[in-house]
């Protein structure tokens, strides 16, 4: 049966100039480069410059995606931006990006808040907007400045996160409805609010009237991550009538190399098929998947017809997975 698919038209990314190596944290807290590498796989991360906002990162990533797709801002109907670190409480960061891209008056823009799983939620929403005919071309962005919500005295969190942005443009294309179609083939979205306390920010508009800092029970999140990501990944494949052997590339959320490896082993996918950027970016929350996607695309790793599996988990807990044929 003919269906409207959301196919990838181009992607882009942006990383702030400042690179912070693990060794810099040895001066701040009781940690070592060896511990950070061994426990997380992270070697360095980028931090936004003073005054550089989430929207600034997002706009650069979006511009690169437009160039990659051979499109202009006027070709975009909607901007869907996943972030947990918006410029302001309101208006949405997405509307700032929309204005900068010059999408004109025909479209719309909004933010999505699902923390580190935000990109998968944004992708699912953008796909639904295209399938329903609400929009024909959607700029899907993950952009974060987690350096703004770090407790620099907390060694269990401050060494793990980074800033950055990634973007992918999805466009409507008629498909056959089969798993051989290009585009997003399935999405799985999940959350369980009973686990709010495992990963949260201790501030907010209606509680403290401050932005707050990130708090995490890392070991607990780790256990949930491997189990929930593996199940969501398998469900995404099943929903698309695909098998684990059909997967060309996994583009996972880049939180921890050990989570990436353990999840790949649980699903049964060899490490050669996993895109890994955590060593250079740290955990950039909602930006991590589109960042990894665009870096891999720039390296020419994806070929038309490749099947990509994406999966992410974050505060909420909130998690999900998606399949996309390149
Ligand atoms: O993106 C959203 C989802 N988030 C995640 O997926 C993160 C999930 N969690 C993790 O990635 C890992 O749990 C961490 C990297 C956060 C921690 O690794 P771990 O192997 O789970 O370590 P742990 O929390 O069990 O801590 C082991 C030890 C502790 O010391 P004791 O209690 O054994 O004496 C910590 O206090 O390591 C200590 N530790 C540190 N030592 C040096 C914690 N942070 C540090 C540090 N440097 N930065």
* 204-233 pLDDT per residue, tens: 999 999 999 999 999 999 999 999 999 999
Do 157 and 61 share a structural domain? Answer: yes
Please indicate, yes or no, whether residues 157 and 233 belong to a single structural domain of this protein: no
Across the strands, what pairs with 188? 321
Angle, CA of 286, 287 and 289, to the nearest 5°: 90
Q: Are residues 89 and 215 in the same domain?
A: no
Active-site residue, selected from the candidate residues 22, 116, 256, 281: 116
* CATH classification at residue 246: 3.40.47.10
Locate the ligand 1 atom nearest the alpha carbon of residue 314 and give its number.
2
Q: Which of 58, 288, 260, 294 shows the shortest CA–CA distance to 162?
A: 288
31 C-alpha vs ligand 1 centroid, how far in Å? Answer: 11
Domain boundary among 156, 175, 194: 175
From 156, 164, 289, the mutation candidate for ligand 1 (largest count of ligand atoms within 8 A of CB) is: 156
User: Are the beta carbons of 269 and 128 closer than 8 angstroms?
Assistant: no
- Where the chain has pLDDT below 50, the residues are none
The pLDDT value given to residue 31: 97
Q: Are 74 and 91 within one domain?
A: yes
Do 170 and 6 touch, CB atoms closer than 8 A? yes
Do 161 and 198 belong to one domain? Answer: no
**Would the pTM of this model clear 0.95, i.e. be above it?**
yes
**Domain boundary residue among 110, 143, 175?**
175
Are 177 and 321 in contact, with CB atoms under 8 Å apart?
no
Distance (Å) from CA 305 to ligand 1 centroid: 39
Residues 21, 148, single domain; the answer is yes
DSSP code of residue 161: B
CA distance 25 to 30: 8
Burial class, 260, CB count within 10 angstroms (exposed 0-12 / middle 13-18 / buried 19+): buried
Nearest CA to ligand 1 atom 16: 218
For 92, the domain range is: 3-175
Could you give the CA distance from residue 48 to residue 87 in angstroms, rounded to a whole number?
Answer: 13
pLDDT given for residue 1 in this prediction:
85
**Are 189 and 163 in a shared domain?**
no
CA of 156 to the centre of ligand 1 (A): 6
Q: How far is the CA of 215 from the centre of ligand 1 (A)?
A: 12
Known catalytic membership, residue 11? no
Domain count within the chain: 2
Question: Is 196 one of the annotated active-site residues of the chain?
Answer: no
Last residue of a domain, one of 175, 209, 242: 175
């Amino acid at each position: 049966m003919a269906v409207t698919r959301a196919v990838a038209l181009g992607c882009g990314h942006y990383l702030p100039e400042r690179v912070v190596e693990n060794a810099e944290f040895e001066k701040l807290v009781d940690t070592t480069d060896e511990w950070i590498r061994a426990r997380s796989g992270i070697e360095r991360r980028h931090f936004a410059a003073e005054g550089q906002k989430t929207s600034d990162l997002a706009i650069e990533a979006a511009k690169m995606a437009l160039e990659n797709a051979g499109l202009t801002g006027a070709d975009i109907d909607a901007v869907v931006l996943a972030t947990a670190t918006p410029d302001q409480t309101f208006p949405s960061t997405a509307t700032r990006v929309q204005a900068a891209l010059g999408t004109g008056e025909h479209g719309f823009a909004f933010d999505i808040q699902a923390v580190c799983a935000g990109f998968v939620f944004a992708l699912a929403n953008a796909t639904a907007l295209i399938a329903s005919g609400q929009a024909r071309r959607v700029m899907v962005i993950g952009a974060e400045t987690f350096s703004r919500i770090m407790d620099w005295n907390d060694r269990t969190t401050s060494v793990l996160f980074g800033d950055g942005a990634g973007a992918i443009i999805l466009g409507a294309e008629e498909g056959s409805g089969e798993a051989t179609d290009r585009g997003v083939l399935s999405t799985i979205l999940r959350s369980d609010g009973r686990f709010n306390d495992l990963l949260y920010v201790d501030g907010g508009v209606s509680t403290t009237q401050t932005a707050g800092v990130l708090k995490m029970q890392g070991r607990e999140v780790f256990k949930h991550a491997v189990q929930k990501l593996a199940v969501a990944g398998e469900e995404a494949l099943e929903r698309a009538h695909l098998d684990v052997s059909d997967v060309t590339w996994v583009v996972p959320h880049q939180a921890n190399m050990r989570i990436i490896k353990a999840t790949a082993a649980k699903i049964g996918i060899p490490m050669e098929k996993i895109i890994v950027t955590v060593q250079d970016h740290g955990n950039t929350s909602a930006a991590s998947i589109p960042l990894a996607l665009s870096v891999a695309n720039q390296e020419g790793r994806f070929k038309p017809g490749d099947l990509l599996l994406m999966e992410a988990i974050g505060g909420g807990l909130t998690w999900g997975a998606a399949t996309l044929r390149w």
